[in-house]
Amino acid sequence: MDSPSSTSHASGATTLVRAERADLGLAFTDTCYWRQSKPTETLHAPADLLRWCAKEGVLDAASVAALEKRWAASPNEADARFAEGLALRETIYRVFKAQAADKTAAAVDLAALNMALEAAPKRALLAPESKGYVWRIDLPLAISGILAAVLWTTGDLLASPRRTRVRQCANPQCGGIFLDDSKSGTRRWCMMSVCGNRAKAHRHYMKRRKP
């Protein structure tokens, strides 16, 4: 993971960062799912991480292309940044899992998150876009810059009253963490179409088994 003194950008180049989702950090943790039964990884290589960044608007298309070119020429760097990204994901997951249980994060995880936040680019310059505004930062090379939007939104959520709406899926096989934006604040499943329906089907099966 980056230290505050790590080289974090390429001079002269910039990237546009949306950081629109309050639950972007949670979405990042969902790139590994079924954590409590059969952990299923969706990020298998550095290219997968960049594709996720593009999909979620974490980096703009030009920046993703620039990093793809750089990493293709420097596979050792790509592997290092990828490993750091996965380690940061797991740190964020553990911090949010503690919050979902109404507990304080472990000191080692909070320290790691704070170190990454300190190394992340500062939100200092807004740029207009067709649908609003985005943050403009120097093109990042360090993982704290590549995942700056994830770090910003994670910190914002943890420091806001909405942190009390962070939940862990009630499916004991899942373990996913989500932000409960339901009006009642009683949402139990990360995805009703998956975990909720499975729970319903299981209850129905158990009822039919009763003599």
- Helices 107-119 and 148-158: angle between axes, nearest 10 degrees: 130
Q: Rounded to two decimals, what is the model's pTM?
A: 0.87
CA distance 63 to 171: 38
One-letter amino acid for residue 144 of the chain:
S
Domains of the chain: 9-209 (1.10.3300.10)
Task: Tell me the percentage of the chain whose pLDDT exceeds 70.
Answer: 85
Which pLDDT score is estimated for 204?
A: 34
CA distance 96 to 100: 6
Instruction: Give me the sign of the Cα torsion angle 122, 124, 128, 132.
Output: positive
Give the tokens for residue 154: 């994670």
CA-CA distances (angstroms) from residue 107 to 1, 9, 111? 16, 29, 6
Q: Facing residues of 33 across strands? A: 40
| Residue 6 pLDDT greater than 80, yes or no | no
Which pLDDT score is estimated for 24?
A: 97
Q: pLDDT band at residue 136, thresholds of 50, 70 and 90?
A: very high
